[in-house]
Amino acid sequence: MRKLAFNTLTLAFIIFISACSKQCPTPVTPCPGNSEISSGSGNTGATGTQTITLNGSAVSSVSVRTVYGDINLEYSDNITVWATTQSGTPDIGRGYLKFDYSSLPSAATITKATLMLYADSTQEIVGYQTGFSNMNGPDNFVVSPVTSSWSAPTLTWNTQPSWDGSTAINVAASTQTYQNYSIDITSIVQTQFKNPSSNYGIVMHLATESPYRGMVFNSASHANAATRPQLVIQYQ
């Protein structure tokens, strides 16, 4: 009788363990993503919001300047958005950025996109002034969607693409010598993400391109990876 009771108990325990393992499977650790893309999640679920930061190889940038008409500046440490002079010659600088959205789900709905720009504290706007400049007027600038093709390794002042000024985003003038910017460019990113064939990135240029005014930001080639341009996207 004791042996029968023991066997009955053992069988019941085995059945219990088996049932539990079916109801509670071992969790699977997700595979790591692209090291160039840092992501985190907010509220999950059907109506939850996810956040992803495009940086590293997902962002390309290049400056163009009038004094370097046919010279490509892709590997410069900075993005110049300025109007100054070099030895008396006018020098207008504009910055181009392009983003790779391939890490986002194709069915994603973008609810917000914030461009993060970090000030370059080593560059002078004019020869005798360090930092951002409002010397001859405010340095407010414009972010416009680019509407034709360009490539960071070949773009120069003389080969600039077209852009759409009618949907531009106006950015306030600087108030500090060196100032980081967080710019809401949601409308531009939403359009370019929904229409991949129109994803030609953005251009940043002064609202008034006459000396002396402007700012300089770290580029996608800057030595300090943490201060390169980033695009923070929230989506559902």
Summarize pLDDT for 16-39 with one digit per residue, the tens: 334 433 333 323 222 232 223 333
High-pLDDT (> 90) share of the chain, %: 71
H or E element at residue 3: helix 2-23
Counting other chains too, the contacts that 170-176 makes at CB distance below 8 Å and 24 or more residues apart are 170/140, 170/142, 170/207, 171/140, 171/141, 171/142, 171/143, 171/204, 172/140, 173/134, 173/138, 173/139, 173/140, 174/132, 174/134, 174/139, 174/215, 176/132
Nearest to 159 by CA among 207, 96, 206: 96
Distance, in Å, from the CA atom of 130 to the CA atom of 124, rounded to the nearest integer, reads 5
Arithmetic mean of pLDDT, 71-93: 95
Instruction: Count CB neighbours of 190 within 10 A.
Output: 17
Q: For 148-198, give the DSSP string.
A: S---TTT--GGG---B-GGG-EEEPPP-SSS--EEEE-HHHHHHHHH-GGG
Three-class DSSP category at 93: strand
| Contacting residues for 158 by C-beta, under 8 A, at least 6 apart | 69, 70
Both tokens of 89, joined, read: 């010659």
Could you state, in order of their start, the residue ranges of all structural domains in the chain? Answer: 36-235
In this prediction, residue 92 carries a pLDDT of 97
Q: Respond yes or no on whether the N-terminal peptide bond of residue 178 is cis (omega within 30° of 0).
A: no
**By mean pLDDT, which of 2-11, 33-42, 63-72, 175-184 is the weakest?**
33-42
Q: Which residue has the higher pLDDT, 8 or 110?
A: 110
Q: What is the DSSP letter of 99?
A: E
The pTM score is 0.80
pLDDT in tens, 120-145: 988 777 655 667 888 889 999 999 99
Give the integer Cα–Cα distance in Å for 25 and 20.
8
Position 25, amino acid: P
